[in-house]
Chain A
Amino acid sequence: MRRSDKYRVVVILAGLVTLEFSVRPRLGDDRVSPDFLLLALLIYTIRAQPGKSAGAGFLVGLLRDALTPASFGAGALAHTLVGYLSAWSKAVFFAENIFVNGCLFFAGTWVRNLVIALASGKLKGGMLGWELLVWSPIQSLTTAIVGMLVLWLFGRHLAIRLGDA
């Protein structure tokens, strides 16, 4: 892998992190707006080894937990799990296809929200139902659409295996 390719990936991921804190607050309801931070993690994980992906997921989750103390630790657990499963499933099952990757982004976002909701223990009953059946699918859909757009625009810059660096 060329050094310039590696830098491009870092720039794209950093761009997504910046979008999370600059553009997302202006996209309307936070429950349905795309999660750029999770998207950056998922794009990293589909190119990296499961172990490194789990580590990256833990760090992202810990940062998230610092911003949502009501579920401290649950975010780290959820992002670690999603990071590992995403990298593992991508290596085993999924093909290089934008739509398939979109499905992975959708599933990753929904599973992340499921684990946070269950592990935090704060959402139950009707509140949990609304979260998992209404808000999470919409947020997963918006995240998947943005993810597919990112892959369509920058796919050739991301078509590298970070694990081989």
Chain B
Amino acid sequence: MLLSFAAMGLPDRLRDPLARGLRQTVLAPLLKLQEQSELISASLSRYQSVVSQRDSSALAATFLPELRNENTRLRSLLGLGQRLGTGYVAAEVLHQSVPTDPLTLIISAGRKHGVRPLAGVVSPEGLVGVVSAVDEGTSVVVTWAHPEFRASAMASDGSVYGIVAAHGTDGPRSWMLELRGVAYRQLVPDRTLIVTSGLGGVFPRGIPLGSVVGVGREAEGWERTYLLRPAAAPASVSHIMVLIGQRPGGAVRGAFDSSGTVR
């Protein structure tokens, strides 16, 4: 019991190496087994949906070269540089059967796959979280449900900016997000899509976070906090993509010189 309390009180600088050591030694073959099981499960149960997604992607890709050429011509006319792209690493989520599992996830991609701390993690639905620790073959992801998660966000049309965080665990509306710091005079209609703004340099611009379902609370005459229905559910997501190779500063800021002129 005393050892358990000692483990709970360990500071992060001691806790992380201990957890990493266990993951890379005793648990490594078991995590590999779970990864293989996830892959087999995906190949069997999700075959039809994967085939459908592939067909849709193939159809969309048919028009891609034309759109890309058109985009290049327009950017050239406007004097903009090349659009900044990001690479990604696909990985399986290795869920655990304990109540706090949705707050932090173990994924089957690590340092050898190119994953770095503070890399954004997305699913096809939207943002899942951010990488907090990286091992050789696995990584720890802090999801949006974690109390310490924050993301700079904006409405999809760019009209409103704020900070998105987990709504908290009190009350009936748990497992929701909230958009904080919106000026009182700015009203955000219900069902407005909220995406990452790219400010702060952690997440690229435009990743869906959630859609507005109402006003959570308001400081009279000062600011409003809006409740969001999350785009991605960490508890049920099985496959994710870790964004790698994005420029520090995010897609928007990276497209401009320090002087503010467009490259």
Contact = CB atoms under 8 A, between A and B. Distances in A.
**Which residue of B7, B104, B106 has the most chain A CB atoms within 10 A of its CB atom?**
B7
Contacts of A113: 98-99
Interface string B3-19: 11111111000011011
Nearest to B25: A66
A5 interface: no
Given A126-B172, A126-B173, A66 B19 contact: yes
Interface stretch (B26-34, B65-73, B250-258): B26-34
B170 A126 contact: yes
B100 A120 contact: yes
Contacts of B38: 25
A67 interface: yes
A88 interface: no
Given A26-B41, A63-B26, A67-B96, A128 B103 contact: no
B22 A77 contact: no
A125 B173 CA distance: 10
A135 B4 CA distance: 25
A33 interface: yes
Contacts of B97: 24, 30-31, 33-35, 139
Contacts of A17: 30
Nearest to B41: A26
A72 B99 CA distance: 12
Sorting the interface of chain A by its residue count into under 10, 10 to 19, 20 to 34 or 35 or more gives 35 or more
B1 A122 contact: no
B4 A80 contact: yes
A26 B99 contact: no
B3 A122 contact: no
B175 interface: yes
B96 A68 contact: yes
B135 to A, nearest CB: 10
Interface string B157-169: 0000000000011
B171 interface: yes
**Which residue of A61, A116, A122, A139 has the most chain B CB atoms within 10 A of its CB atom?**
A122
Contact of A68 (B101, B132, B236): B101
A77 B3 CA distance: 8
Contacts of A136: 99
A76 B84 CA distance: 45
B252 to A, nearest CB: 31
Given A122-B100, A130-B174, A73 B7 contact: yes
Given A25-B95, A63-B27, A66-B27, A73 B169 contact: no
A135 B40 CA distance: 26
B30 A30 contact: no
A58 B4 contact: yes
B171 to A, nearest CB: 6
A139 B27 CA distance: 23
Contacts of A117: 99-100
Contacts of B9: 73
Nearest to B29: A21
B146 interface: yes
Contacts of A73: 4-10
B224 interface: no
A157 to B, nearest CB: 23
B4 A127 contact: no
Interface of A: 17-18, 20-26, 29-31, 33-35, 54, 58, 61-77, 80-81, 113, 116-117, 119-120, 122-128, 130-131, 135-136, 139
Interface of B: 1, 3-10, 15-16, 18-20, 22-23, 26-27, 30-31, 33-34, 36-38, 40-41, 45, 94-101, 103-104, 106, 132-133, 140, 142, 146-147, 168-175, 235-236
